[in-house]
Structure 1
C-alpha cells in the first residue's frame, strides 16, 4: 500500500527538485505533518523544505485582515445586531443564535452569494425580475416554491421569521463594515475578499503552487484554485475510479463537477487510480450499544497487533466523538503510544461541573444562607472530597440532622482552604474573580492528578477570555451561568501525543489525505455517519438550494467521499456498527455501509454479536426466621436503659399487617430510607407542626393558669400565642437564628396558614367541648404484654396526642392532618390484609387499649376519636370512631375482641415457623420505599 501523500511527494520531487521554490497547499495541518515525513524518506541528502500551508493560511496570506476567535466575533456581531434592530436582548440569550448567524454569514461569503438578493423579502413576489437572471431555472423554481408556500400559509411564526429576515442584510452589512474599520474579519470575509480581487482582474499567485488532496471546494476556493491553475499551479486529486466513474456514487459528486469545470477539468489525470479494486480483508462487526463496539474493537486490535500488525500503520476512526473515552479505555492495554487528533469537550470534564456548581451555589445565596442542593452537590464533588473528605461528610450529617434547606454560610467554612473559599459569597460583579480564586486554590492541591490540572488551566483560559471580551456585561448570575454553559461547551481540549508515532485515533474530517494499512471505523450507523442533521441556520432549505449554499445532500456527499477514501488504499478494514436502534429508528446501519456491502463486489466477513435477552422470573421474597432474625426480633422487647422506646408501636403493627416483608426490612433488618433534607412541605412536616404547636399550646395554657382544667375562655384570642409557637417550631425545624424574625416565603407561607387554620378549628371544637380536664398531651405509653410461655412478654407502646376528661367521659384524641375515616366495619376488619382496613382506627383503638392497661379506667367511658382534616371543617363535626354505623361511646365493650386479635397477631409475628413474605395487595406497594427490592 502506497499512501497518497507518499505518491504525491514522489511526483513533486520528480517535477521540482528545488523544493524550496515550491508552495504546497493542503486541506489541513495534519496532512502537512504526514507529507513532511514522507518527503523526508525520499530525500537522501539535506535540502531546504518547501513552503507548506493549509488552505486557510494560503488564502489569508493575500489579505491584511485578521481573524479573531469565535467568541469575539459573536460578541461583535451582537453589537451590530442590537444596534441595527434596536434590540435590548442580552448577550447570553443571543449567543446561540449569534453562532448560527455567524455560520450563515461565513457560508454566504465563502460561496460568493449576493447577500442583498438572498435576504430580499419575496413573500409577495410572484415572479422574479431581471436582477435574478444569474439563477438557473431550477434555482428560480426553488426560490418561488419557498416564498409561494410562505405566502399561502401565513402564521405568527412566519411573521416573526419575516421580521428577522428583513433585518438580516442590514445586520450583515453593519457587521462587516465595523470589522473592516478595525482590520478584522471572519474567515468567509477573507475568502470573499481574495476571490473578488481575482474576479476583479487582479493577479494573486505565489508561483510554483501545488494543491494537494482537495474535495468539496467552496465557490471562493474554486475561484482561487482556478486562478492558481491558470498560473500553472498543479493539483493532485485524492480520488478513485470506483466512485468517480459511477454517477450513482455520491462520493464522487464533487469530482465529477470539477471534471466538467473549464479550468479545473484539465488538472485530472487521464489515468485515474483504481486502489479501491485491490484485494482487501474486510470484516464487519455488529455489536449492541456504542460501548459494545469499542470493547469489541479493542479485542480485535489486540489480536491483530499480537500477530504482527503495526500500531504506526493502524488508524481508528470515530465518527461519533462520544466514543472517544470508551475507545481509549479499550486500546490502552494494546499499544504503548497513541495519538488522538480529536478534541475532547471541556464540558465533559469534572472541572466544568465543579465551576457550574460554584455558580449555582452563588445563585442560591440569600441573606447569609445558601440553598442546600448546590451545597450538598459541592461537598460530594470529587474535588471537595479530595480536599477534605471528613469535613465534607460531617457537614452533610449536620445539615441532615437539622434538615437545613437554607444552610448558614458561616457554618460551611472549614480549616481546609478549598472549602473555605468556595463558600465565600459572590455576586455578578465579582463572579469571575471568585471562580478564578477557587480554581487557583484547587490547582495548588498537591494530591490532584496531572490531567485535572490541565482541565483547570483550560478553564482559567476560558474565564480569562470571557472577562477580556465581555467584561461585566451580565445582568445577573443566571445570565452569567447561561452564557458560561453555552461558551464552554464549544471549547475543545487538545490531546498531547506523538503525531507521527503509534496508533492514530481520528474523527472523519481529520483523515483527509491520510492512508493506513489497517483501518477500524466505528459508529457506522445513520445519525453518526452521515450525521443526523445540520447545525442550524436562518436560511431555509429551498433558499439554500436556490443560491447554491451547502445542504444536507452536500454534507452527505462529503462524508461519503471521506468514508470511501479512507478505505480505498487500506488492506485490512474493520467496520463496526450498533445493532440496536433507538425508538425513532435512528441508528440503522449506515447507508454507506450498505452501499459498500451490496455494490462493491467485495467479500465481507460479517459477525454480529447479540446479547442474549431473556425474561427472568421474579421470585417471591421469603425471609425465614432463623436464629439471627429471631435474635433481632427479641431485641424489640428490650426495655432500653436510656428509656428510649424500643418496642412495637401501633404504626409498626400497621406495617406488619399491611406487609410482613416491609415490617422485616424496617424493624428487624433496620434497612432505612436514605436520609434526605426535606425541602417540600409534605404531610409529615405539616403533621409535625400541628402536633408540636398543639402540645406547646396546651402546656403554655396549663402553665399560665396553674390548672389542667381547660375552660372556653382559655382558648379565646390565642392567635398571637399560636403564631409565636409556630415561629419557634419553624426556627427549631430549620435551625434558623432565634434572634432574627422568621421570614415566611414560598411554600412556608402556605403551610403556616394551613397549620394556623387547622389549629384554629381544633380549638373551636375544644371550646364547644369545654370545660374539660387535660390528662396529658403527647403522652408516652409503654406496656409489657404477656403473650404465652413460648413468646413471653412483648413490649408495646406509643405516643398519644392527647387525653382529656369531662366528668366520667375520657377521650383518646388523635390529630390527623389527612382525611382519615372514623368508620370501620368490625374489629376483625382492622386485622385483615385485604387493603381496605382503617389504619387510623386501628392506631387509635390501640392507644385506647394501652391506656386502659396502664391506667385505671373502670369507672370511665373511654371514647377514642380523630380530629382530622376531613371532619374538623364540617359544621356537624363528629369525633368518635364508628364501628359500622354505631359510635363507640365506650371502648371497653370492644377491647376484649381487640386484644384477642392483637394477641393472635403477636403470636404470628413471633412464631418461628411463620415467614416474612410479600403482601398480595399490590396497591400497598405503591409508596413503599422497598418496592425496588421486590421489583414491584
Structure 2
C-alpha cells in the first residue's frame, strides 16, 4: 500500500526540485504532519522544506482581518441583533440561536450567496421578477414552492418566522459592518472578501501553490483555488475510479462536478487510481450497543496485534464521539502508544460537574441559608472529600440527622480552604471570581490527578474568557448558568501525544488524506454515519437548495466519500455496527455498509455477536443464623451508656411479622435505607408536626397550670398558641433562622392548614372528654421480657404518644394522621403473616402491654386506641379498638393471649434453627427499600 500523501510527495518533488519555493495547501493540519513525515523519508540530503498551510491559513494570509474565537463572534452578533431588531433579549437566551445564526452567515459568505435576495420575503409573490434571473428554473421552483406555502397556510409559527426573517438581512449587514469597524471577521467573511477580490480582477498568490486532497469545496474556496490554478498552481485529488466513474455513488458527486469545471477539470489525472479494486480483507462485526462494539473491537485488535499488525499502520475511526472513552478502555491493553485526535468535551469532566454544583449552590441561597440538595451533592463530591474527608462526612451526617432542608452558611464554615471558599456567598456580580477562587483552591489539593488539574486549567481559561468578553452583564445567576452550560459544552480538551507514533484514533473528518494498512471503523449505523441530522438553521431546506447552500444530501455525499476514501487503500478493514435499533429505526445498518455489501463485489466476512437471552430463575434468599448473625441479633438487647434504647420496637416487630428478611436487612445486617433529606410534605413529616405540637401543647398547659388535670376551658381559644408551636416545629424541622417569622409558601401552606385542622379536631374530642388527667406525653417504655431462647430476655420498648386517666379508665392514645383501621379480627390475626393484618392495632396493644408490665394498673381499665385521620372527623367517633366487631373496653381481657403470641414470635426470632426468609406476600414488597436485592 502506497499512501496518497507519499504518492503526492513524490510527484511534488519531481515537479518542484526547489521545494522552498512551493506552498502546499491541505484541508487540515494533520495531513501536513503526515506529509512532512513522508517527505522526510524521500529526501536523501538536507533541503529547505516547502511552506505548508491549511486552507484556512492560506486564505487568511491575503486578509488584514482577524478572526476571534466563537464566543466573541456570538457576543458581537447578539449586539448587532438586539440593536437591529430593537429587542432586549438576554445573551444567555440568545447564545444557542446565535450559534445557529453564525453558522448560517458563515455559509452564506463561504458560498457567496446574495444575502439580500436570500432574505427577501416572497410570500406574496406568485412569480419571481428579473432580479432572480441568475437562478436556474429548478432553483426558482424551489423558492416558489416554499413561499407558496406561506401564502396558503398562515399559521402562528409561520407568522413568527416571517417576522424574524424580515430582519435577518439587516442583522447580517449590521453585524458585518460592526466587525469590519473593529478589524474583525468570521471565517466566511474572510473567504468572501478574498473571493470577491479575485472576481473583481485582483491577482493573489504566487502561482506556485499545490492544493492537495480537497473534496467538497465551498464556492469561495472554488473561486480562490480556480484563480490559483489559472496562475500556475497545481492540484492533486485523492479520488478512486470506483465511485468517480459510477454516477450512482454519491461519494463521487463533488469530483464529477469538478471534472466538468472548465479550469479544475484539467487538474484531474488522465489515469484515475483504482485502489479500491485491490484485494482487501474486509470483516463485518455486529454487536449489541456501542459499548459492545468497543469491547469486540478491542478483542479483534488484540488478536491482530498478536498476529503481527503494527500500531503505526493501524487506524481506529469513531464516527460517534460518544464511543471515545469505551474505545480507549478497550484498546489500552493492546498498544503501548496511542494518539487521539478527537478532543474530550470539557462538559463531560468532573470539574464541570463541580462548577455546576457551585453555581446551583449559589442559586439556592436564600438569606444566609443554602438548600440542602446542592450542599449534599458538594459534600459527596470527590473533590470536596479529597480536600477534607472528615469535615465533609461530619457535615453530611449532621444534616441528615436533623433533616435540614435549609443549611446555614455558618454551619458549613470550615478551616479547609476549599470548603471555606465553596460555601461562601456569591452574587451574580462576582460569580466568575467566586468560581475561579474555588478552582484555584481545588488545584492546590495534593491528591488530585494530573488530568484533573488539566481540566481545572481549561475551566479557568473558559471563565477568564467569559469575564473578558461579557464582564458581569447577566440578569441573575440562573441566566449565567444557562449561558455557561451552553458555552462549556462547545469546549474540547485535546489529548496530548506524539501524532506520528503508535495507533491512531480519529473522528471521521480527521481521516482526510490519511491512509493506513489496518482500519477499524465503529458505529457504522444510520444516525452515526451518515449523521442523523443537521445542526439547525434559520434557512429552510428549499431556500438552501435554491441558493446551493449545503443540505443533508451535501453532508451525506461528503461522508460517503470519507467512508470509501479511508478503505480504498487499506488492506485489512474491520467494520463494527450496532445490531439493535430503536423504535424509530435509528441505528439500523448504515447505507454505506449496505452499499459495500451489495454493490462493491467485495467478499465480506460477517460475524454477529449475539447475546443469549434467557430468563434466570430468581433464587429465594434465605439467611441462616450462623455465629455472626446470632451475635448481631443479640446486640439488639444491648443498651448504650446514654440509655439510648437499642431493643425491639413495635415497628421492628411489625417488620419481622411482615417479612423476616427485611427485618434482617434493617436490624441485623444494618443495611441502611438510602439517606436523604425529606423536603416533601409526606405523611411522616405531617405526622411529626402533629405529634410534636401536641406534646409541646400539653406540656406547656401542665406547666402553666401546675397540674396535670385538663379541663374544658383549657382547650378553648388556643389557636394562637398552636400556631406559635407549629412555627417552632417548622423552624426546627427545616433549620430556619430563629427569631424570624416563618414564611408559609407552597406545600407548607397546605400542610400547616391540615396540621392545625387535625389538632383542632383532637382538642375538640379532648374537650368533650374533659376533665381528665395527663399521665404522660411521648413517654418511653422499656421492658425485659423473658423467653425460652439462648438470650434469656428480650428488651422491648417504644414511645407512647399520650397516656391519660379519667376515673378508673386509663387510655393509651396513639396519634395517626393516616387512615389506619380501628378494628381487627382476633389477637391471632395480629401475628398472621398472610392476608391483611392491622399493624396499628398491634402497635397500640403492644404499648398497652408494655404499660401494664411497667406500671401498676390494678383496679384500672386500660383502653388502647387511635386518634386517626379516618375517624377523627366522624361526628359519632368513639375512642378505642374493636375486635371481631366488639368494643375493646379493657385490654386486660386479651393481654394473656397477646403475650403468648408475642412470646412465640420472639422465641422464633431468637431461635438459632429458624431462618430469615422472604415474605410470600408480594404486596408487602411494593414499598420495601430492599426489593432490588430480592429482584421483586
Shorter-chain TM range is over 0.9
Q: Which residue does the alignment assign to 2:707? A: 707
Specify the SS of the correspondent of 1:764: helix
Q: Which residue does the alignment assign to 2:444? A: 444
Moved more, 924-933 or 409-418: 409-418
Q: Which residue does the alignment assign to 1:503? A: 503
Moved more, 46-55 or 69-78: 46-55
CA contact (8 A) 1:835 1:924 kept: no
Q: Which residue does the alignment assign to 1:283? A: 283
Per-residue CA distance 1:248-305 (angstroms, 9 max, x = gap): 2111111111112222222211210001111122222223332232233333333333
- 1:425-824 equivalent positions in 2, closer than 5 A: 425-637=425-637, 642-738=642-738, 740-788=740-788, 792-824=792-824
Q: Say yes or no: does 1:47 pair with 2:37.
A: no
Cα offset for 1:566? 1.0
**Whole-angstrom distance in 2 between the partners of 1:342 and 1:874:** 71
Q: Which residue does the alignment assign to 1:871? A: 871
Specify the SS of the correspondent of 1:586: coil
Cα offset for 1:428? 0.8
Specify the SS of the correspondent of 1:203: coil
Q: How many residues align?
A: 936
Cα offset for 1:858? 4.2
Per-residue CA distance 1:348-372 (angstroms, 9 max, x = gap): 1121111111111111222222222
Q: Say yes or no: does 1:163 pair with 2:166.
A: no
Per-residue CA distance 1:605-638 (angstroms, 9 max, x = gap): 2222233332110112223344444444444455
**Whole-angstrom distance in 2 between the partners of 1:637 and 1:506:** 64
Gaps spanning 5+ residues in structure 1: where?
Answer: none
Cα offset for 1:789? 7.6
Q: Which residue does the alignment assign to 1:172? A: 172
**Whole-angstrom distance in 2 between the partners of 1:210 and 1:633:** 84
CA contact (8 A) 1:23 1:207 kept: no
Cα offset for 1:756? 2.5
**Whole-angstrom distance in 1 between the partners of 2:336 and 2:634:** 62
**Whole-angstrom distance in 1 between the partners of 2:602 and 2:381:** 52
Q: Which residue does the alignment assign to 1:59? A: 59
Q: 1:661 to 1:789 in 2, by over 3 A?
A: closer
Q: Which residue does the alignment assign to 1:188? A: 188
**Whole-angstrom distance in 2 between the partners of 1:49 and 1:490:** 36
Moved more, 568-577 or 791-800: 791-800
Q: 1:845 to 1:333 in 2, by over 3 A?
A: closer
Q: Which residue does the alignment assign to 2:411? A: 411
Per-residue CA distance 1:69-120 (angstroms, 9 max, x = gap): 1111101110111111111110001000000011011111111222222222
Per-residue CA distance 1:908-933 (angstroms, 9 max, x = gap): 43444443322222221111111111
**Whole-angstrom distance in 1 between the partners of 2:806 and 2:212:** 104
Q: Which residue does the alignment assign to 2:380? A: 380
CA contact (8 A) 1:658 1:835 kept: no
Structure 1 length normalisation: TM-score? 0.96
Cα offset for 1:430? 0.8
Q: 1:440 to 1:652 in 2, by over 3 A?
A: closer
Per-residue CA distance 1:732-772 (angstroms, 9 max, x = gap): 43445545555544444433333222222211211111111
Q: 1:380 to 1:267 in 2, by over 3 A?
A: same
Q: Which residue does the alignment assign to 2:239? A: 239
Moved more, 40-49 or 27-36: 40-49
Gaps spanning 5+ residues in structure 2: where?
Answer: none
Specify the SS of the correspondent of 2:429: coil
**Whole-angstrom distance in 2 between the partners of 1:690 and 1:596:** 73
Cα offset for 1:330? 2.7
Per-residue CA distance 1:17-71 (angstroms, 9 max, x = gap): 1222222221111112222222222222333222222111222222222211111
Q: 1:583 to 1:444 in 2, by over 3 A?
A: same
**Whole-angstrom distance in 2 between the partners of 1:450 and 1:660:** 50
**Whole-angstrom distance in 2 between the partners of 1:891 and 1:380:** 50
**Whole-angstrom distance in 2 between the partners of 1:21 and 1:634:** 91
**Whole-angstrom distance in 2 between the partners of 1:338 and 1:894:** 79
Q: Say yes or no: does 1:354 pair with 2:354.
A: yes
Q: 1:496 to 1:669 in 2, by over 3 A?
A: closer
Cα offset for 1:4? 1.0
Moved more, 803-812 or 468-477: 803-812
Cα offset for 1:674? 3.0
CA contact (8 A) 1:339 1:502 kept: yes
Q: 1:583 to 1:389 in 2, by over 3 A?
A: farther
Q: 1:867 to 1:129 in 2, by over 3 A?
A: same
- 1:71-110 equivalent positions in 2, closer than 5 A: 71-110=71-110
Cα offset for 1:491? 0.8
Moved more, 848-857 or 343-352: 848-857
Q: Which residue does the alignment assign to 1:260? A: 260
Specify the SS of the correspondent of 1:429: helix
**Whole-angstrom distance in 1 between the partners of 2:793 and 2:334:** 68
Q: 1:643 to 1:50 in 2, by over 3 A?
A: closer
Structure 2 length normalisation: TM-score? 0.96
Q: 1:896 to 1:334 in 2, by over 3 A?
A: closer
**Whole-angstrom distance in 1 between the partners of 2:447 and 2:204:** 57
Q: 1:913 to 1:42 in 2, by over 3 A?
A: closer
**Whole-angstrom distance in 1 between the partners of 2:634 and 2:463:** 62
CA contact (8 A) 1:371 1:407 kept: yes
